[in-house]
Chain A
């Protein structure tokens, strides 16, 4: 018995050893592709500039992460066709963060020390950002968050900025649109998914806006993103006769909640939060989706050549309008490319060591203005995005209840 145990342990350690050896193998080949690091000032022109993209390509957050990957890849294609950074192409290096903090930190570490990227676009979730961004901050690597909307993200450090407008700025627009549609609104019921970080901070903003507008907040109902039955919460809310219902949740649960609200006879307006801001909810609530209002940080109809290029490429590839998450990831890459170009015009990039390049790039990012698919954006000194335009879309379903689209309100 002892022998067998001993042998199995030997086997496990051999297995570990083999894997560790295997895992160190890629490095020599990698370092020949990436630009030489500190000190060396050899010509970098032939070598593409590596930019890291660390988003959730797997796990339950991957629906969002995959939209971000599409947006980033379009940006790589579009800007390299335009000549990249004064003739030097960029090269995106993708690392999957999965849905957890450990995964995000590992992806960041790999990008920073192994791939030697000049900056990182990511991660997908705010919670992951709270874990991984301090790592980049300590390594002095600029990070642009494509979808972190929680309070406190740019405040993590000097090197952390975001292109995703915080909930506190975006969410109130939907309430204003609802009041425009129906000025009689008085009683508001709020629903939120209590186990989702984004929904939790979003509902805070919604509730505050409701009070600021002197509306009557009749009830706050909680649910879980994993719930499928909302009858208790819906009945509780319906008894208080609300004329506006605001939902902060994710696609599947939010969609089901909308459906059950309509099934149980609710006739008033519904506002969905950013978690419902995806065409993935249409198959869930079908006909009941019709009329749901959702605030947007991006409109495919935004004028401007760059947005037109982005929208056209996206539509050819995916046969639908580009969603906000793809547009934000695109914008993240765009900001890096434009900042690198501006920096290159001042000081040739290949005269800078990697450390200097990262630091100067970060300063450059924060100091300029960008004309992006999201509209005109810039950053304040902390790295918070200053975005001028927001939109509100209303879901319009076809008569058969199968297909629908987001129609932007004027």
Chain B
């Protein structure tokens, strides 16, 4: 297969895989502070609607391609809207923990979905269509998605080795212990939640153009579970996990489609590969939770205390350094 034919067939999939990686990161960010938030699809849907409405109703119609600058503006506005909403939502909701936080965020996603169905501007169940394209082909979206993923990964890499990263890890391991070490958990939990929301909103704005259409079926509860699976199967301890998970799990159904087309395969196997992708999805999640278990409580507390101490020490040094300047 020539390179062009490969890109034509799989261009859409390659971009989808990278978008999947970004969405995995948006779930991973709150998880860095131990917050199991399923709100990402809500912000993703919000970003998509902002881009869809702006590009079809607000911006003037242009001949040829949709200006790249306007796409960047949409991404910026989506980021701002997601941040504002995340702060407003995060302050009350982040008081909840574990499964209760997950439920509250599911409710948020559901509220947004019902709103989108009932508002005129979002086009109800039909949604918004005819969204203009900034690139000639779908593979062109790599010009936006690759830098975004690269920047996000560099940002997370830095974040994890910085003071804030250590604090987030300390909160994840034991919030109470971290609190006793003088960390303000609410502040940092909100920070990671908002960062995740901003990322999801920006990805939504890109996706609306990428999919040509946007409707209330984008970013629903089902999507929450898929994004969570990205993180769980890739691993939730470093940012590489969600990236790998997002890429692999987005590609998986299409790879199975390709495999089902291999000649000489028994029909039942081909059928299973085509139709059984959700079973394989589920198996992967179960396997990853079995084979990547969290560490025991005792060691966890100890490491947390140590980490929190290290974080506090780092902050002290920094403050003294800043003081002496």
Contact = CB atoms under 8 A, between A and B. Distances in A.
A19 B251 contact: yes
A12 B137 CA distance: 30
Given A30-B261, A96-B257, A96-B274, A197 B125 contact: yes
Nearest to A201: B126
Contacts of A22: 255, 258-259, 262
Nearest to A107: B257
Interface in B118-134: 118, 124-127, 129-130, 133
B126 A195 contact: no
Contacts of B156: none
Interface string B1-38: 10001101111110010000000000000000000000
Given A8-B291, A96-B274, A102-B16, A110 B127 contact: no
A194 B130 contact: no
Contacts, number: 138
Given A13-B244, A26-B262, A130-B129, A19 B8 contact: no
A28 B251 CA distance: 21
Interface stretch (B162-170, B175-183, B232-240, B311-319): B232-240
Contacts of A199: 125
Contacts of B9: 109-110, 113-114
Interface in A98-157: 100-103, 105-106, 109-110, 112-114, 126-127, 130-135, 138-139, 150, 152, 156
A15 B255 contact: no
B161 to A, nearest CB: 15
A26 B270 CA distance: 12
Name the prevailing secondary structure of the B interface residues. helix
A195 B215 CA distance: 10
B137 to A, nearest CB: 7
A201 B217 CA distance: 16
B126 A200 contact: yes
B282 to A, nearest CB: 15
Contact of A130 (B127, B136, B240): B127
Chain B contact residues (Cβ within 8 angstroms of A): what range? Answer: 35 or more
B273 to A, nearest CB: 10
B126 A102 contact: no
Nearest to B16: A102
Contacts of A30: 261
16 contacts: A8-B235, A9-B235, A12-B244, A19-B252, A23-B254, A24-B1, A30-B261, A102-B16, A106-B253, A110-B257, A113-B5, A114-B5, A127-B217, A138-B137, A194-B118, A200-B126
Interface of A: 1, 5, 8-9, 12-13, 15-16, 19-20, 22-31, 57-58, 95-96, 100-103, 105-106, 109-110, 112-114, 126-127, 130-135, 138-139, 150, 152, 156, 194-197, 199-201
Interface of B: 1, 5-6, 8-13, 16, 117-118, 124-127, 129-130, 133, 136-138, 211-213, 215-218, 233-235, 237-238, 240-241, 244-245, 247-248, 251-255, 257-259, 261-263, 274-275, 291-292, 295
